[in-house]
Amino acid sequence: MRVEIDGVTVTLGGRDVVQSASLTVNPVEVVGLLGPNGSGKSSLLRTLYRAVRPRAGVVRVGGEDLRTLSRREAARAVAVMLQDPPTDFDLTVEETVLLGRAPHHVSFGGDTAEDLRIVADAMRRAEVTELGDRMVAMLSGGQRQRVMLARALAQSSPILVLDEPSNHLDISHQHELMSTVRGLGRTVIAALHDLNLASQYCDRVVILLAGRIVAAGPPAAILTPELIRSVFDVDVRILGDSAAPVFAFGRLRGTAPPALPTSSPDESRTESALQP
């Protein structure tokens, strides 16, 4: 399903945190939103699952204004996985994942055999099957993150919105998650901090800075050392020579290193991975 973000401005606390953003995401395309903290990535994503209403502009899914859809219709179209899943669930993992089927129920009837099959498959994909009887509140942050992925998968929506999906996950599960969503055949829009994950798994990346889209295109074309230095204020070295570049980062030369904690005078300084 196609997503169209047309001239969207988001105002929070009297300040425009997203300014006149326009972006089209094609069906089954994986697009990564990149930018430093406060650049507007999460705020723009929140318009896609109706957590905030744009002050200006419109978001369309499948050609329809998202705001004209009922809550159930919107949930059938767009599933979301948040970066900080709630911890106050009084539900088991399986019960939590079953919540993803709620938009497909027309009444308060019980879960069908098809619901249970979809939930079991979602839990398998997210590698939480063995946690099915555990209480979500008792899980680690990484485990809860995988449960939230399973719930989003169980929703069976053609559009999947991920807000920092690798948050709390170890390296192995970061790649497992991105590989899983890459292979879903759905439209995926993800806010990411890790440029290497974006380079490897995204068809396109969109760079935001101070609430504006400043660049968009294939990772290999957009993620140049010059752009990375100017947007993220880090030095960068590209490793290898492929369509999915790998980046090594360090502080910019000529900038002062962070002060060492005064409470640990014996702690040695970790030098940058990049050498002058």
Q: Tens of pLDDT along 189-200?
A: 999 999 999 999
Q: How many CB atoms lie within 10 A of CB 107?
A: 5
177-188 pLDDT tens trace: 999 999 999 999
Which amino acid is located at 219 in the chain? P
Confidence of residue 109 (pLDDT cuts 50, 70, 90): low
Q: What is the pTM of this model?
A: 0.86
Encoded amino acid at 124, one letter: R
Question: In this structure, what DSSP letter does residue 111 have?
Answer: P
Domain ranges of the chain: 3-251
- How many C-beta atoms surround the C-beta of residue 241 within 10 A? 6
For the chain, give the percent of residues with pLDDT over 70: 88
Q: What b/e readout covers 137-155, taking b as 16+ CB neighbours within 10 angstroms?
A: eebeeebbbbbbbbbbbbb
Domain 3-251 listed as CATH 3.40.50.300: yes
pLDDT at 271: 32
pLDDT in tens, 90-108: 899 999 999 999 999 876 6
